């Protein structure tokens, strides 16, 4: 990575403002954190700063309070969980800027950890307001961005504050950029991209950017219906982006010219209604009933896809193969995940729904990298410059 990290600056005794992505889910019944993986992912950076005797000032957003104080979106329970994981106290503040936050910081000792209140209680955060960014910067000597999940947003705490403090990456940010960057620039071949999800329009830039870099492009999920329709195959009641049919045909042509094997499903799992408890069957794509919905890739397609993956030394996967939230339509996604877990290859999963599926199946430790950034990972793979990365100091 060509950006400076916490390894590249003196941190002893310094006040370090650390942007993390602690936007964790809560159980609606118990109100307890239901998945602390984002907190766990930031621990190496926080522990390193503690060991270096920094004063660690952690900041994050939680939910979408839209610039107002929302009691249910306070970071107190997140700080409590961080304290449990660190096995040391984590102080909190009732605001992320202002006299109380400044007083709390001035009382810190080397190795202490303080969590500021939800950044998005201030509308200025998402507007990247310079005065708000200066108020955050006023609390610290250095800025550490370890929030890859928000790096695609030009917010005050991801880009603005870096104008006023020396800005470096944490270990999680470094890992994300290294893995995703190598997939784009230095991947071992054969290289496959497995692309799913609901809409072609969500993945057009990604497909376009990776087209000349991969050997195999395997397309599943709801978006395959637009490609099938572009090949004059009826897809029943499934959603098709009619205005993207020509683009889909163009991508097929581009793949052929780039010597990329673009592989579409040759069979699918269909249902008579878009719901659990529906009638379900697997059919060739040429026999999709006119009043049924495509819900997953079929068993023959699973075999075709996994046979290609077995040949690969690098695999990037973005987007589930079916409607994963229904148990009847998760076999395609499960098969791809299990096959990737067995490969002796670099395996990278990116995108929120894909990462959630891998973790739900308990296979995250068998992947080379599971990206913590949904939109950020997608934009990085599209070849876009992420504001939160661009703002960091170059090596």
∠ CA(282), CA(285), CA(288), 5° rounding?
70
Report the C-alpha gap between 216 and 178 in whole angstroms.
Answer: 22
Element (H, E) at 297: strand 293-297
Segment 338-348 shows an average pLDDT of: 95
Indicate if 375 belongs to the active site: yes
Asked if 256 and 158 sit in the same domain, the reply is: no
Asked if 33 and 167 sit in the same domain, the reply is: yes
Residue 377 lies in a domain: yes
Residue 326 has pLDDT above 80, yes or no: yes
* Per-residue confidence (pLDDT) for residue 31, from 0 to 100: 85
Last residue of a domain, one of 136, 171, 206: 171
Report the C-alpha gap between 16 and 140 in whole angstroms.
Answer: 6
* Per-residue confidence (pLDDT) for residue 219, from 0 to 100: 96
**Helix, strand or coil, per DSSP, at residue 191:** strand
Asked if 167 and 262 sit in the same domain, the reply is: no
Asked if 200 and 151 sit in the same domain, the reply is: no
Residue 150 has pLDDT above 80, yes or no: yes
Domain that holds residue 60: 6-171
Catalytic residue among 98, 111, 181, 352: 352
Q: Which residues contact 71 (CB under 8 A, 6 or more apart)?
A: none
Catalytic residue among 38, 203, 213, 229: 38
Asked if 187 and 135 sit in the same domain, the reply is: no
Element (H, E) at 248: helix 245-257
Last residue of a domain, one of 171, 201, 216: 171
Indicate if 351 belongs to the active site: no
Number of neighbours of residue 178 by Cβ within 10 angstroms: 12
Q: What is the pLDDT of residues 268-301, one digit of tens each?
A: 999 999 888 889 999 999 999 999 999 999 999 9
Asked if 163 and 186 sit in the same domain, the reply is: no
Number of neighbours of residue 304 by Cβ within 10 angstroms: 18
Residue 393 lies in a domain: no
Burial track 317-341 (b if 16+ CB lie within 10 A, e otherwise): bbbbbbbbebebbbbbbbbbbebbb
Q: Which residue did the predictor score with more confidence, 185 or 347?
A: 347
Four-point Cα dihedral 386, 202, 206, 283, nearest 10: 150
Catalytic residue among 199, 254, 273, 313: 199
Segment 156-178 shows an average pLDDT of: 95
List own/partner pairs for 102-107 with CB under 8 A and 24 or more apart.
102/138, 102/139, 105/15, 105/55, 105/57, 105/139, 105/140
Segment 110-114 shows an average pLDDT of: 98
Give the Å distances, CA to CA, from 296 to 135, 197, 284: 49, 11, 12
* Per-residue confidence (pLDDT) for residue 352, from 0 to 100: 63
Residue 14 lies in a domain: yes
Beta bridge partners of 280: 271
Residue 389 lies in a domain: no
Asked if 76 and 58 sit in the same domain, the reply is: yes
CATH of the domain at 309: 3.40.50.1260
Asked if 304 and 358 sit in the same domain, the reply is: yes
Q: What is the pLDDT of residues 184-227, one digit of tens each?
A: 788 899 999 999 988 888 888 889 888 889 999 999 999 999 99
Confidence band, pLDDT 50/70/90 cuts, at residue 37: confident
Residue 155 lies in a domain: yes
Indicate if 352 belongs to the active site: yes
Domain count across the chain: 2
> The tokens of 102 are what?
């400044």
Percent of the chain, pLDDT > 90? 79
Residue 392 lies in a domain: no
Indicate if 319 belongs to the active site: no
Catalytic residue among 63, 98, 375, 384: 375
Residue 263 lies in a domain: yes
Asked if 263 and 299 sit in the same domain, the reply is: yes
Asked if 188 and 126 sit in the same domain, the reply is: no
Asked if 317 and 371 sit in the same domain, the reply is: yes
Last residue of a domain, one of 171, 188, 209: 171
Segment 329-350 shows an average pLDDT of: 94
Q: What is the pLDDT of residues 370-388, one digit of tens each?
A: 887 777 888 888 888 899 9
Asked if 229 and 102 sit in the same domain, the reply is: no
- pTM of the predicted model as reported, rounded to 2 decimal places: 0.86
Residue 386 lies in a domain: no
Number of neighbours of residue 237 by Cβ within 10 angstroms: 18
């Amino acid at each position: 990575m060509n950006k400076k990290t916490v390894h590249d600056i003196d941190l002893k005794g310094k006040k370090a403002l650390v942007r993390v992505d602690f936007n964790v889910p809560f159980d609606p019944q118990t109100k307890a954190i239901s998945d602390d993986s984002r907190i766990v992912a930031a621990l190496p950076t926080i522990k390193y700063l503690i060991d270096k005797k920094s004063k660690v000032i952690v900041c994050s957003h939680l939910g979408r309070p839209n610039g107002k104080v929302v009691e249910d979106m306070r970071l107190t329970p997140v700080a409590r969980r961080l304290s449990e994981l660190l096995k040391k106290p984590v102080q909190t503040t009732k605001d992320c800027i202002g006299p109380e936050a400044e007083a709390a910081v001035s009382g810190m000792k080397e190795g202490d950890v303080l969590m500021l209140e939800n950044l998005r209680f201030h509308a200025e955060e998402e507007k990247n307001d310079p005065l708000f960014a200066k108020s955050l910067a006023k609390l610290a000597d250095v800025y550490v961005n370890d929030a890859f999940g928000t790096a695609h947003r030009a917010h005050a705490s991801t880009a603005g504050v870096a104008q006023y403090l020396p800005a470096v990456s944490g270990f999680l940010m470094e890992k994300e950029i290294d893995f995703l960057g190598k997939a784009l620039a230095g991947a071992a071949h054969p290289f496959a991209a497995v692309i799913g999800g609901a809409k072609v329009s969500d993945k057009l830039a990604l497909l376009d950017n990776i087209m000349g870099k991969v050997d195999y492009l395997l397309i599943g999920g709801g978006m395959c219906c637009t490609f099938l329709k572009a090949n004059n195959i009826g897809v029943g009641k499934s959603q098709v982006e009619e205005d993207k049919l020509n683009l889909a045909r163009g991508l097929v042509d581009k793949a052929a010219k780039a010597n990329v094997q673009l592989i579409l499903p040759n069979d699918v799992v269909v249902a008579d209604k878009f719901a659990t408890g529906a009638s379900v069957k697997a059919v060739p794509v040429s026999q999709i009933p006119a009043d049924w919905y495509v819900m997953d890739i079929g068993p023959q397609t699973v075999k075709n896809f996994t046979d290609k993956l077995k040949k690969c030394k690098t695999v990037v996967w973005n987007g589930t193969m079916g409607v994963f939230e229904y148990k009847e339509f998760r076999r395609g996604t499960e098969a791809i995940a299990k096959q990737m877990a067995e490969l002796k290859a670099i395996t990278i999963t990116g995108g929120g729904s894909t990462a959630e599926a891998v973790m739900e199946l308990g296979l995250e430790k068998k992947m080379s990298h599971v990206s913590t950034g949904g939109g950020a990972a997608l934009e990085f793979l599209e070849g876009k410059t992420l504001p939160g990365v661009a703002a960091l100091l170059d090596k």
